[in-house]
Amino acid sequence: MNISKEIIDYWNRFQKENGIIQSFVNAWSFGDNPELADELLELVLTGKKTGTATLVIELERKGEKMPEVGDYNIILDGKGKPTAIIRTTSVEIKPFNEVEEAFAYSEGEDDRTLESWRREHWKYWTRVGQKLGFAMKEDLLVICENFELVYPK
């Protein structure tokens, strides 16, 4: 995690405006390319996206921590600029083939159906797996994380 002065200043402004004393966990963007990062960020900012999914193996390979309820994360746009802060409200872990329609809907992507969620996430995690050295499979564990947008309101 490369934390710039711009990210620190963004967090400090949020803390001051909201009386928050805890620290943020990480600063990151959605997806694996700038266009996808901006597209998914826009869904968060408009309130359509309140969920995100990560594979357990993906976090393990990257050496990142599991999300926990109450975590604050700074969301970056496709250029790496801090643009939003989310707070985790729930975390469930289940196999890819057991992710439910309600969670797929919460991700706010495509037509919000489970079918499109499975199709698009399969493609995405196949790309990620090629970079991180794992093969996408039906039983890989998915971290189904829901969040609320806390900044900007």
Going by C-alpha positions, the residue among 10, 7, 104 that lies closest to residue 50 is 104
In which residue are the tokens 């193996």 written? 57
Global pTM? 0.93
Distance CA 10, CA 41 (A): 16
User: Quick one: pLDDT at residue 153?
Assistant: 81
Q: In which band, very low, low, confident or very high, does the pLDDT at 44 lie, cut at 50, 70 and 90?
A: very high
User: Quick one: pLDDT at residue 1?
Assistant: 56
Strands 82-95 and 141-151 come out as antiparallel
- Superfamily for the 5-144 domain: Sulfate adenylyltransferase (3.10.400.10)
Q: What is the pLDDT of residues 106-121, one digit of tens each?
A: 999 999 999 999 999 9
Q: What is the pLDDT of residues 66-95, one digit of tens each?
A: 999 999 999 999 999 999 999 999 999 999
And the tokens for 41?
A: 């960020």
Q: Are 152 and 84 in contact (CB under 8 A)?
A: yes
Distance CA 87, CA 107 (A): 15
Segment (H or E) for 52: strand 51-55
Strands 26-28 and 82-95 come out as unpaired
Q: Is the dihedral of CA 22, 62, 36, 104 positive or negative?
A: negative
